[in-house]
Amino acid sequence: MISSLKSKPNGSPKPLPHSMVRGQWPTALAPMQDVTALPFMKVVARRGSPDFFFTEFFRVHAHSKLDDEILSSITENPTEQPVFAQLIGENIEDLKRTVCDFQDYSIAGIDLNLGCPAPRVFKKNVGGGLLRSPKQIFEILKMLREEVVGLLSVKMRIGFEDDRYFDELMEVMIESNIDLLSLHARTVLGGYRSTPSYSHVTKAVEALPCPVLLNGNVTSFNSAVDLKELTGAHGVMIGRSAIRNPWIFRQIREIQARDTIFQPTLADVYHYIEDLYDSLEKPEVDERKNVNRMKKFLNFIGLSVDADGKFLHQMRRAQTRKELFYICDTHLIQSGRCDEFLNIEPYDGLVARPSSESGYSRCKLG
């Protein structure tokens, strides 16, 4: 028990906004830097919105201002679904100022990032780096609890190198009276590939009075249901698998309602890729750069296209839009497979390039 945690939490967690279908448990699109910006939100929304969105993180430091591009995912939110604004930082005064900056914006709440694994981030003792200092997290959350008018949410991993502070961190969450915890069931040093420790999600669910969203390797509507049941989590947060299968949120609603589950075909995937390109394309930017940006998304989509990974191999070599779509057309349409269903899980043995998980590590923190 850390020394400052003497008082009882004041009040109980505020209720979360309703799910799209009343009575169903909620889904959230995980915040992903360089991915979950407004264009991707729109593309996902056209295929079935999650219940909650989280912005890419707003960097908070002495000279930070709200980033206009990230702000557009709040001001131009194409859906009725609430958006949480995610912050990454550690200085109390800077965080307080940033929370104030949000007062005129329509957000569901503020989410504190306690999970970013990029060394250049955690070395500054922000994101996942803060998980080594429960007391400092407590001080930050105490201030946030006082300042945040809407919901106060935390997205964290289970620890830095191991779970030595996990129980203490749970106490911090209780004492800070947060309204929502999204728990990525890995340590910071576990990156994106280590086996998730879902027993920590169960522990969090049992310990906390607020809802817990399970995060980490929810790969399909089946795994969403299984993992929710296994852990008792309130709902699930999905990142990479929503890039691979943007219909996943709709499918989770359908399975909960016992409706027929929509199964996208490879032709649907082709149209998704077209939609993505058109939405992400920046005409002022070199074509090659636009193509390279697409590859980040295709790295995940390709995991479900063919078992031998030929699509991934070829698309990584494309340099122009024409080449890229020729490859997509060959694999998804001309192959005669266009009516085949997208593989619900990634094919065994295929992996996304680590660089596609590192949008996160290229970020600058001021």
Ligand X SMILES: Cc1cc2nc3c(=O)[nH]c(=O)nc-3n(C[C@H](O)[C@H](O)[C@H](O)COP(=O)(O)O)c2cc1C
Q: Would you say 155 or 293 has its CB closer to ligand X? A: 155
User: Residues 347-366: x/- map of binding to ligand X (CB under 6 A)?
Assistant: ----------x-xx------
Task: Answer yes or no: are the C-beta atoms of 233 and 212 closer than 8 Å.
Answer: yes
Q: Would you say 170 or 352 has its CB closer to ligand X? A: 352
Q: In angstroms, what CA-CA distances link 44 with 19, 37, 248?
A: 17, 11, 9
Smallest gap, in angstroms, from Cβ of residue 293 to ligand X?
A: 12
Q: Is 178 in the site for ligand X (CB under 6 A)?
A: no
Smallest gap, in angstroms, from Cβ of residue 218 to ligand X?
A: 5
Q: Is 217 in the site for ligand X (CB under 6 A)?
A: yes
> Residue with structure tokens 């569901």?
108
Size of the site for ligand X (CB under 6 A): 24
Smallest gap, in angstroms, from Cβ of residue 337 to ligand X?
A: 26
Q: Is 35 in the site for ligand X (CB under 6 A)?
A: yes
Q: Distance between CA 75 and CA 310 in Å, rounded? A: 40
Q: Would you say 19 or 219 has its CB closer to ligand X? A: 219
Q: Distance between CA 64 and CA 66 in Å, rounded? A: 7
Task: Give the single-character DSSP code of 286.
Answer: -
User: Residues 298-337: x/- map of binding to ligand X (CB under 6 A)?
Assistant: ----------------------------------------
Q: Distance between CA 315 and CA 337 in Å, rounded? A: 18
Which of 218, 303, 305, 342 touches ligand X (CB under 6 A)? 218
Q: Is 239 in the site for ligand X (CB under 6 A)?
A: yes
**Bridge partner list, 154:** 112, 181
- For the chain, the straight-line distance linking the first and the last C-alpha, in angstroms and rounded, comes to 33
In angstroms and rounded to an integer, the radius of gyration of the C-alpha atoms of the chain is: 20
Q: Is 176 in the site for ligand X (CB under 6 A)?
A: no
Q: Distance between CA 176 and CA 11 in Å, rounded? A: 10
Helix/strand/coil percent split, the chain, to 5: 45, 15, 45
Contact set with ligand X (CB under 6 A)? 30-33, 35, 56-57, 86, 113, 115, 155, 184, 192, 215-218, 238-241, 357, 359-360
